[in-house]
Amino acid sequence: MRVVLRSLSRSPLHMIKILHLSDIHMGSGFSHGRINPATGLNTRLEDFVATLKRCIDRALAEPVDLVLFGGDAFPDATPPPYVQQAFASQFRRLADANIPTVLLVGNHDQHSQGEGGASLCIYRTLGVPGFIVGDRLETHRIQTPSGDVQVITLPWLTRSTLLTRPDTEGLSMGEVNHLLSDRLRVALEGEIRRLEPTVPTVLLAHAMIDTALFGAERFLAVGKGFTLPMALLARPCFDYVALGHVHRHQVLCNQPPIVYPGSIERVDFSEEQEDKGYVLVELQREHTQFEFCPLPVRPFRTIEVDLTEAKEPEAKLLNTLQPELIQDAVVRLIYYFRADQVDQIQPNRLHEALATAHTYTIQPELVSQTARTRLPELDVSNQLDPLEALRTYLTNREDLQDIEADILQAAQGLLTHETVEFPDFAKSVVEAEPVSEPQDTQLKLL
């Protein structure tokens, strides 16, 4: 009976179990950790290692037939040896268990000089059994206990991968993208033609797909290097498209499944709201199933409080710092206060309230009161002609005194030449005061 089952599983409909993870970025985000006195290591490195260990534990416990890593192992191509070692000691467990593994090269793994992924190519150089480094567009036929599988590796593409300098001379970024897409389409077509049609196939790519979303449902792709058109991936010859690069888990397509597992740990505050995890795949010709498996990673919490209207600012602030929000989290406290409230907030009290956090930063933002005040003379109930409104506004802006006469003159010129909607314009000048907006720059981390 056992023999019969085994031969069935090797038929053209055989199922291959895969663990797909991506964007490990081991060694990044140290500013959100502290030194563990017991080990001398940054606690964020320890977090990343513990999380990677959970992924590998699962791969071994299943056990899966294949592990696919979607790229970006480290923050750059030359990680310090102790970080490389932490990464290697986890992946080594797969080699020991004879689980074939594909390590794809992401943009962070590429050395700025020369070809190939400097940080991952060592695995090929060492000839680690069952390990494949995907640093070029190539098809790998991999034997697993459940049958053969084809994996096309598509590492991060730069314009120098498929184009020469004369090819791109004088072209805009959009035109270069277009040319790169064309070249890639041809090269990929060549790989696809050589596929064995009955063997399940995965495309493993580190790329920005043009329909990928980020954070608050904004399109990510705009103006950030090469983006891969979705149409290139959504093809019946692929039974699963395993992606890396975007840190937010998302499923771009169900037939075939096109999936970003996202990063395994939060790299910074831009990932505060995102679930982290990996994907378990049951790969089968035209019938692939997959499941996102969340990882219990350290929470990041931004706590933002406006104290400018508070009668007891410190009490309000401390009240917001609930222990369950703080405990073991990476906390970023931002509070807005008025200059006259400075003495009412004791820093020691804040430090006490935040003591159970893993780490924390406090960002007090002084709200300038002149910036918030509306000029009573410019209230909507007062009918002023546009020039009068501008003059009133300018008399309240000491910083613009030097150019007051010029502004008025320019305004007068505009009024006599144009039918500008001047009252609106004047209002928007009044309202266009600087408002501080704390923000993380997000794209740099991909």
Which residue lies nearer to Mn ion by CB, 106 or 225? 106
Nearer to Mn ion, 159 or 245 (CB): 245
| Contact region with Mn ion (CB under 5 A), list: 11-19, 100-108, 336-344, 407-415 | 100-108
Q: How far is the CB of 156 from Mn ion (least distance, A)?
A: 6
Q: DSSP letters along 382-414, please?
A: S---HHHHHHHHHHT-GGGGGGHHHHHHHHHHH
For residue 134, state whether it binds Mn ion (rule: CB under 5 A). no
Which residue lies nearer to Mn ion by CB, 207 or 331?
207
CB 317, CB 270: distance < 8 Å: no
User: Which residues, including other chains, have CB under 8 Å from residue 317's CB and lie 6 or more apart?
Assistant: 305, 307, 335, 345, 350
The residue within the footprint of Mn ion, chosen from 106, 147, 256, 262 (CB under 5 A), is 106
From the list 315, 356, 306, 311, the residue with the least C-alpha distance to 336 is 306
User: Which ranges in 194-343 belong to alpha helices (H)?
Assistant: 313-320, 323-326
270 binding Mn ion? (CB under 5 A): no
> In this complex, which beta carbon is closest to Mn ion, that of residue 84 or of residue 107?
107
Contact pick of 47, 72, 76, 271 for Mn ion (by CB under 5 A): 72
Q: Would you say the C-alpha torsion 85, 89, 92, 96 has a positive or negative sign? A: positive
If the CB atoms of residues 357 and 445 are measured against Mn ion, the closer one turns out to be 445
Q: CA-CA distances (angstroms) from residue 28 to 45, 108, 156?
A: 8, 11, 20
DSSP assignment string, 142-194: EEETTEEEEEEEE----HHHH--HHHHTT--HHHHHHHHHHHHHHHHHHHHHT
Provide the minimum distance between the beta carbon of 29 and Mn ion in the complex, in angstroms, as a whole number. Answer: 15
The count of chain residues that interact with Mn ion, using the rule CB under 5 A, is: 5
How many C-beta atoms lie closer than 10 Å to residue 13's C-beta?
A: 14
Q: Which two tokens stand for residue 313?
A: 């600012």
Q: How far apart are CA 166 and CA 318, in angstroms?
A: 62
Give the span between the Cα atoms of 179 and 70, in whole angstroms: 25
Token pair 């397509």: residue: 253
Given the rule CB under 5 A, which of 80-88, 228-236, 404-412, 438-446 is the region that contacts Mn ion?
438-446
**CA neighbor of 233 nearest in space, from 170, 181, 273, 176:** 181
Name which of 106 and 256 has its Cβ closer to Mn ion.
Answer: 106
As measured in angstroms, the least distance from the Cβ of 106 to Mn ion is: 4
CB of 104 to Mn ion, least distance (A): 10
Stretch near Mn ion under the rule CB under 5 A, chosen from 36-44, 164-172, 245-253, 378-386: 245-253
Nearer to Mn ion, 100 or 155 (CB): 155
219-227, 242-250, 364-372, 399-407 -> range binding Mn ion (CB under 5 A): 242-250
**Distance, CA of 21 to CA of 265 (rounded, Å):** 11
Choosing from 22, 51, 84, 107, the residue that interacts with Mn ion (CB under 5 A) is 107
- What is the smallest separation between the CB atom of 247 and Mn ion, expressed in angstroms? 8
Do residues 262 and 87 make contact, with C-beta atoms less than 8 angstroms apart? Answer: no
CB of 368 to Mn ion, least distance (A): 39
Min dist. Cβ of residue 123 to Mn ion (A): 19
CB of 220 to Mn ion, least distance (A): 12
Stretch that binds Mn ion, among 28-36, 107-115, 132-140, 229-237 (CB under 5 A): 107-115
400-419: contacts with Mn ion (CB under 5 A): none
φ/ψ of residue 259, rounded to 5? -135, 130
Cβ contacts of 30 within 8 Å, gap of 6 or more:
42, 44, 45
Q: How far is the CB of 70 from Mn ion (least distance, A)?
A: 9
Pick the closer one to Mn ion by CB: 19 or 446.
446
CB of 427 to Mn ion, least distance (A): 44
Instruction: Mention every residue, 6+ apart, whose C-beta is less than 8 A from residue 226.
Output: 157, 158, 159, 176, 177, 180, 207, 208
With respect to Mn ion, which residue has the nearer C-beta, 71 or 100?
71
For Mn ion, give the closer residue by CB, 47 or 76: 76
Part in contact with Mn ion (CB under 5 A); list of ranges 99-107, 158-166, 233-241, 412-420: 99-107
Does residue 245 bind Mn ion (CB under 5 A)?
Answer: yes
Output the CA–CA distances (angstroms, integers) from residue 247 to 276, 380, 446, in the order listed. Answer: 9, 47, 6
Residues forming the site for Mn ion (CB under 5 A): 72, 106-107, 245, 446
